[in-house]
Structure 1
């Protein structure tokens, strides 16, 4: 018999407190920045799904290609009875793994959105009778505690979401993952790879302007949740490749001098013409860099798979 369980480890109001703290810190001084998680309200998530279907945005297709081609190899290498997905969202990208893991008994989906977890979990039960689905409302960056589940376990962090973390945050996150793994468990990681600037910038600044709409949506979030008065039309979406750090920066750049008010925080945010808010970084990786970051966290890279064009990689690691 299959089952569905939803557990909340985040207080219901934690999102409100975190948003207020992030905006106060990120817009109260300079340079201005906001964490990328605030891009993904219900509307932002819808727009991002549209982005994944754009011709310029290759990462989703490239990762899906790897999972389709290598799911049986991943299953053979891990023998996982439990699959844990961090930042699961719709759980769409892991369905290929679920199909391939013949001995799978439990799927643990971890996300901050209860509605996304509920919908994805119910759909999986229909398609995979006999699978126990445990939905965990939690923040994978802060003291994640996994429910008890049969081993060996495969912890998956896909979509190159790790690229949204700054280097120190990545180190902390990977150390936390290593601490979750028992002997026999494994960690599956999706990473976008370094490539030419033109291809990278196009993926984050598409011709149809969908990514621009996605980026500006964060201002609508601030207006709705904090009673702010940002005018999205007063900002341009910009995507910049930082060759030294090897990451893409998404920015919102003020078209002219302006001041936006956030009464609930007592903030008046002044912008000079051309001044910007950094809303996201998306780091790109090389195999030797991934190996080193994993090793520093106590993890050993065992397998490395790329799509046929060599644009994206999925790697498998175990505790050293």
Structure 2
């Protein structure tokens, strides 16, 4: 294997492993603090699937949270434990990495308001529709039962010494976060490792050559390549100008962004720790469908 590929892959692995670890721990801790002060009943009422507004609120929550696909997972786990509506949780899962403020801002600067508006409306509409349909089709049964259980916060590692002294509430939150992280850690490193290797091995020139405007399959190709090619959506958007200059269509670029931001390989592996295979397949189908439909429809309408 080329030395440059190995170096690039190792550098990306180190960067992503540290970034995702810190984000996972920080966001999990924040969720723990919020759960301490916000009763689960309040979350259930706001994000209830029985109330149509719950879907809109979930999409709005996803749009204002600056999370990437992987850092959405600990927040989603908190919603599951609070027993929020399944459909609204799925709306948050789809919308959060695609509609965060950073992505929308970069889209507007790079492509203008027309492309940004179409991307936003499409991602929002598909997220809400998919969340609603997945609940109505009964996909909640594919959530693993252990995800609903609160982590045992009574002890963690060396803190279990038979002492009956009360544990500080902030430390209790941290102990629960650390227990969750230890369960997720193998999934994180496997996903980051595979994604980093693919990132180092696939040059942008190769992507542009297969996703040119003259290729009728450029859009589904870009959407599929985006999933294993773990690059932050912000980075994909910044790279989009040279990709467009090399002949890649706007529709294919939008599909690449949705594929990489909405269903990165690392996120899919993390979701495997929470969902059964049927739910993973449904998740990938929604994201790929959203990417392909948005890419093709943009080309037809504009």
Using the size of structure 1 for normalisation, the TM-score is: 0.25
Using the size of structure 2 for normalisation, the TM-score is: 0.26
Which structure features the higher share of strand residues? 1
Which structure features the higher share of helix residues? 2
